[in-house]
A and B are shown apart, each in its own frame.
Chain A
Amino acid sequence: MSIMPRPTITADELLSMHEPGRPTELVRGELRRLSPAGYWHGAVIGRLAGRIGPYASERNLGETFGAETGFMLARNPDTVRAPDVAFVRRDRMPSEFSSGYFPGPPDLAVEIVSPNDSYTEVHEKALSWLEHGTRLVWVIDPVGRRAAVFRRSDDVHVLGPDAQLTGDDVLPGFAVQLSDLFPGGTGTNPAT
């Protein structure tokens, strides 16, 4: 029995695709299309990026990236994934412009959970960041009003709305209360 390999896509081919409104990732050469996020999800991204960005740039710590920025995690087959918010520390930033994806993992990757995201895929993506070298992964669930902080697969903490997300050694001194990231501040859960 022979198995016909599916044609794999490379990072360069992914970069040249133009499909407005359809964020796409590449996992071991296979395309994964993501739906545009709901507005609630987008608002959380805005709030968090709005905290991390100024904090990092004022202290010259590194660069903050918005959603849909591709990070090249592996080659042959290629894996390019896009977190909702990312941070790369200064000494890992290329000094000159290049047009491709970031060549490596971010130091911090943040995923905002959408209501339909499955448990399997959220954990798979968090692990994928860790396995490729990301040092801190935040999974933020605006509906459950919780977050999970992953440092390693055997070092995961669950935070409630009153707890603080802290930058640890990745973003030293950075802290934000989880409930401040949700639209409406300490307001009620939109899903109930």
Chain B
Amino acid sequence: MSIMPNPSITTAEDLLSIREPGFRHELVRGELRRMSPAGHWHGGVGMVLAELISRHVREHRLGRAYMAETGFVLSRNPDTVLAPDISFVRQERLPRAFSPGYFPGPPDLAVEITSPNDTYTEVHEKASSWLEHGTRLVWVVDPVARRATVYRSRDDVRLLGPDDELTGDDVLPEFTVPLRDLFPGSS
């Protein structure tokens, strides 16, 4: 993630108008952040988990799951728009009609898949941002270490190992997946 000073892009609406194929962008307190495309290992793990979440959400009519690059407006003036790798919004919070912009608020579940070069500071800041803006469950999945961190609040953070299960708790009821099933080479 690199910070690119660009004084012309400061609001969620400005961000929506950017056309720069191959890059993802986020806005943190009015400051543009540009992110490189993810590596294949990251993308593969994200796809497996996204598929499981999406299927579970549809089968149980829980709401809507979103793929990577979906923007969520977390705050205004200055604007913060973040895009998790996978996200979920429960049924009663979904807008009834089409609107072209970012989702107006936080997702109920935000999932981040870490890349080997992601720094502790930026991953931790992002997980904290989701929580502070109302996301009820944050999963940070680390495909290199084959671990995950589950953040439910600042005072409820758990580190899971490959033998543990990710569970949806009250956010995605009945969802459960052994962490090892997400990683290539697992049986």
Contact = CB atoms under 8 A, between A and B. Distances in A.
Interface in A72-127: 113, 115-124, 127
B6 to A, nearest CB: 16
A141 B149 CA distance: 17
Nearest to B131: A158
B168 interface: no
Interface in B47-98: none
A119 B157 contact: no
Contacts, number: 73
Given A116-B119, A158-B154, A153 B161 contact: yes
A31 interface: no
Classify the secondary structure of B's interface with A: mixed
18 contacts: A113-B120, A113-B121, A115-B121, A117-B121, A118-B119, A119-B119, A120-B144, A123-B120, A123-B149, A141-B120, A141-B121, A148-B124, A153-B158, A153-B159, A154-B159, A156-B149, A158-B151, A159-B154
Given A139-B120, A148-B124, A159-B154, 16 more contacts: A113-B121, A117-B119, A117-B120, A118-B117, A118-B118, A118-B119, A119-B119, A120-B118, A123-B120, A123-B145, A141-B120, A144-B128, A156-B149, A156-B159, A158-B151, A160-B154
Interface of B: 114, 116-121, 123-125, 128, 140, 142, 144-145, 147, 149, 151, 154-155, 157-161
